[in-house]
Amino acid sequence: MKYKILLLALLGSATGGFAQTLKDCSSCATQVIKPAQIADKSIDDIRYLTNDLFARRGYVFQSSEIDAYYANKTWYKPVNANYTIEYNAVEKQNIKLFQDRTKELTAQRKQLTEALKGFKALLDAGDKEALARQYQYRVESNSDFIKNVTDEIFMDDIHWTRHKGLYRVEKDNGDIVKAYSLAIDGNRVVFEFSLKGGSVIDREGALYPREYMTEASYVYIFEYVQGKLVFQKLVVAG
């Protein structure tokens, strides 16, 4: 019996050691949030939590989208002026946690962007030795279309949503569509070059209609591990 009680006590303390992921800030005024509760959150998620904390104090948002979202919450009571809001010690501590984590994630995103820029620079220079040494990139030139992609991508203009980033360009010359994309999902980074049959001009009234489909694609898969961009494999289709 004693062993059972001891086991249950140990299980209880272990369970208590795992912080639940934070979904909103309904408790942010009374409970200090632990770093583990936002460890898997993106910059967007943390911005939402910060806004949720502010909204529960009646903060009036300049964004019409955010304002409309909270206007539908029964608990939301907007104040006359934001400068009149006073946050308690717990809220201030939680706001600082959100700010610090956002800075950390922003720095990580910048580090990845710099790694992508460095990779592009070596491609532009044609430095195969450095590409192999720094990025483990050794694709043969007869299947190497990745430079076609990097020539079209503006690394500082990647659109980010949560843990994903995307930059995509399509060029239609009236005969064939060429698509270039950089897609980021967590630590996975993918460059893709593809050729698609069926120009926009052919979709209506063409004498010999062609199906709009991918005819060939070259997918270059990288992993971003411990601050380094590492090439994994090339997938060719078509």
Q: Does residue 124 lie within any of the structural domains?
A: yes
- The pair of structure tokens assigned to 57 is 């104090």
Do residues 109 and 35 share a domain?
A: yes
What is the distance between the alpha carbons of residues 97 and 39, in angstroms, rounded to a whole number?
11
Domain count, the chain: 2
Do residues 218 and 155 share a domain?
A: yes
What is the distance between the alpha carbons of residues 168 and 180, in angstroms, rounded to a whole number?
6
Range of the domain at 56: 18-134
Res 108: pLDDT: 93
Q: What is the pTM of this model?
A: 0.80
Do residues 27 and 105 share a domain?
A: yes
Res 206: pLDDT: 62
> Virtual CA dihedral for 205, 210, 214, 215, nearest 10 degrees?
-140
Of 134, 161, 176, the residue that ends a domain is 134
Residue-wise pLDDT tens for the chain (238 aa)? 444 444 444 344 443 444 688 899 999 999 999 999 999 999 999 999 999 999 999 999 999 999 999 999 999 999 989 999 999 999 999 999 999 999 999 999 999 999 999 999 999 999 999 999 999 998 776 678 999 999 999 999 999 999 999 999 998 877 788 999 999 999 999 999 998 866 666 666 666 655 655 578 999 999 998 889 999 999 988 7
What's 106's domain CATH number? 1.20.58.1690
CB 29 within 8 A of CB 90: yes
Q: Where are the beta strands (DSSP E) in the chain?
A: 159-161, 164-172, 176-185, 188-197, 213-225, 228-237
**Max CA pair span of the chain:** 85
Closest CA to 148 of 104, 114, 188, 179: 179
Res 19: pLDDT: 62
Do residues 29 and 128 share a domain?
A: yes
Q: Does residue 94 lie within any of the structural domains?
A: yes
Do residues 128 and 31 share a domain?
A: yes
Q: Does residue 112 lie within any of the structural domains?
A: yes
Res 9: pLDDT: 42
